[in-house]
Amino acid sequence: MNNIRHLSPFARRSFLLFSAFLSTPAIADHLGPSGFGGGGGASVFSPETLDEGHWAAGFRVTYTRPEQRSDAELAALAGQHVHAHNTDYNLNASLGVAYGITHHLTVSAELPYVRRDDLREGTHAHSGSVAVNGVEELGSVAGIGDMNLLAKYRVTEGMGPSFALIAGLKLPTGSTHKKSLDGERLETEHQPGTGSWDPIFGASASAPLGAVTLTASALYQLSTKGAQDTRLGNRLQGGLALSHRFGERAHDHAESQNHHHGDELDEHHERPHSSWDAFVELAGEWEGRQEVGGVTEDASGGKWAWIAPGLRFNAGSGWSASASLAVPFWQEIRASHPNNKYRFVMSLGRAF
């Protein structure tokens, strides 16, 4: 990002931190992979990396509110052999760390805590020759989720357009043995974890456009077979974001074309500066159908797109905070999952 290079190095690391552990929306009950790096929007992340030898720690909360379906709607779908469900809300609270191995390579790890409140699912059974459709109260589900490990390699140098490659792995650290209110083991899609090892890859790019910066990013998660012979659908998520910087610039505008060069000297002689960023993103997610026992569930998966305005504050002292609200403007989610109503994300972090 062009205007990031006019900040002090410590403020710059604070700016890079804010999205070190970006959440992403979910069609199913599991969030997709997370990106990291400054700039962009709530789920669109920039190609920037941390300085060599520096690290950051962060905390974020993602609150997703699905559209509510009545018991009658869930029962009617069960009569069509669609095991549809609903929750009051989905909450994802995660802790993460990121470290700059070199000026071009940053690695991160993020561990989430997942809660799904008041899970309900349609049921279909037979009483003699009569079909009986109903709704089962499964209760609230909470626990540690699956850890994401990601590496970002920034290919470009200088203050112009930037580009980076992403690779990583989702580890099966989450619980897969949570039970419903009647003591039965929940399906894998409702568990905090998946039991699968999923590779992740993607890319990010940014370019200055006068007073604003345009950022684009995309991540793809290849799902493998996990707990209970279940393979959740693959995921593709990405988008575009425009961001604008508000705040005082450092006095020295003649930094090197490699913005990492001279950081050690600058940290002693350049006064830290704080800044605000306003951003808006247009983004989307596609999720493939899941398989259980080798059988594809046709009513699972889907796609949706949203607009998300937001603000972030980048303190010269190294602290960073952001908030955004994502509202869908188009969605085509298959019947087993409800549509998304909105998603709210807050994050807080510290760069070192």
Please report, for the chain, the start and end positions of each structural domain, with discontinuous segments joined by +. 3-69+88-114+135-351
Nearest to 97 by CA among 63, 55, 132: 55
Q: Structure tokens of 261?
A: 């060069």
Give Cβ neighbours of residue 340 (< 8 Å, ≥ 6 apart).
25, 27, 64, 65, 66, 67, 304, 306, 328, 331, 333
Q: Which residue has the tokens 């960073």?
A: 320
Contact 153, 207 (CB under 8 A): no
DSSP state, 190? Answer: G
Q: How far apart are alpha carbons 53 and 157 in whole angstroms?
A: 18
3-state DSSP call for residue 266?
helix
Residue 73 contacts by C-beta under 8 Å, 6 or more apart in sequence? 84
Question: Nearest CA to 200 among 222, 217, 218, 216?
Answer: 222
CA distance between the termini of the chain: 20
For residue 223, which of 317, 286, 306, 305 has the smallest C-alpha distance? 286
- Could you tell me the sign of the dihedral formed by the alpha carbons of 273, 109, 57, 21, in that order? positive
Considering only CA atoms, which of 329, 327, 326 is closest in space to residue 345?
Answer: 326
**Which homologous superfamily does the CATH classification assign to the domain defined by 3-69+88-114+135-351?**
monomeric porin ompg (2.40.160.40)
Q: Write the pLDDT tens digit of every residue in 288-314.
A: 999 999 999 999 999 999 999 999 998
pLDDT digits (tens, 9 = 90+) for 40-99: 677 898 899 999 999 999 999 999 999 999 999 999 999 898 989 999 999 999 999 999
Render the burial of 310-342: b for 16+ CB within 10 Å, e for the rest. bebbbbbebbbbbbbebebeebebbbbbbebee
Q: Rounded to the nearest 5 degrees, what angle is found at the Cα of 248, between the Cα atoms of 205 and 319? A: 70
In tens digits, the chain (352 residues) has pLDDT values of: 444 444 444 444 444 544 444 445 455 555 555 555 455 677 898 899 999 999 999 999 999 999 999 999 999 999 898 989 999 999 999 999 999 999 999 999 999 999 999 999 998 877 666 678 889 999 999 999 999 999 999 999 877 899 999 999 999 999 999 999 999 999 999 999 999 999 999 999 999 998 899 999 999 999 999 999 999 999 999 999 999 988 654 443 333 334 444 443 334 445 567 888 899 999 999 999 999 999 999 999 999 999 999 999 988 888 889 999 999 999 999 999 999 999 999 999 888 8
Q: Under DSSP, is residue 280 helix (H, G, I), strand (E, B) or coil?
A: strand
Contact 235, 32 (CB under 8 A): yes
Dihedral, 18, 57, 253, 269 alpha carbons, nearest 10:
150
